[in-house]
Amino acid sequence: MKPVIRRMQEEDLDFVLRIEQRVFPDPWQRTSFQFEIHANRFSYPVVLDLEGEIIGYAVAWEIFEEFHIANIAIHPDYQKQGWGTYLMQHLIDRAEKMGSHYILLEVRPSNKAAMALYNKFGFFPHGVRKRYYRDGEDAIVMRKNLQTQV
C-alpha cells in the first residue's frame, strides 16, 4: 500500500507529536503545529497517511518566492524505505506548482540521513546560521533552485 499525502489536521497531532518527540532532540510543541494548521496563512502542513497510520509529515512555508521546509520527518520504523524521498518529491512538486523560485531549509551538519536526502535532490549549502539549535549546533542552510526562478 502507498501512503496518501494530505493536509495535516488537528486529529493527526497525537501521531505527529509521537514521531516528533522520537526523532528530534528539540521537538516542536503541540501549539506550534496548531499554529501551522489553524493560523499561519503561509503554511503548508502535510502528513503521510498509510491507511490511517501517520508515518511521516512535513511543514513548509510558502513565503512569496521562497518555499521554506520548516519540518520534515519519517517515523523511525519507516525510515530508509523511500518515504522521505516520496514526501520531498511531493514538496518540490508543490513548490513548483506554487511558482516558488527556490527552496530553503536548515539542517544540522551532523544529520547524515537528512543530508543524504537533500543532496539526492540537488540541494546545495547556501550559508550557516551560527548556534541555530538549542544545544548550540550550527545550522547549514540548504537551497534548491527551481525551474520557475527568473
Provide the angle, in degrees to the nearest 10, between the axes of the packed helices 112-120 and 83-97: 50
**Catalytic-residue membership of 118:** yes
**Catalytic-residue membership of 102:** no
What is the nearest approach in angstroms of ligand COA to the Cβ of residue 18? 13
Q: Which of 62, 65, 106, 137 is catalytic?
A: 106
Interface residues toward ligand COA, by CB under 6 A: 23, 72-74, 79-85, 107, 111-114, 116-117, 120
Nearer of residues 99 and 113 to ligand COA, judged by Cβ: 113
- Cα separation, 98 vs 108, in Å, equals 27
What is the nearest approach in angstroms of ligand COA to the Cβ of residue 150? 28
User: Which secondary structure element, helix H or strand E, spans residue 119, and what is its range?
Assistant: helix 112-120
Beta strand 102-107 pairing with 66-74: parallel
Catalogue the active-site residues: 106, 118
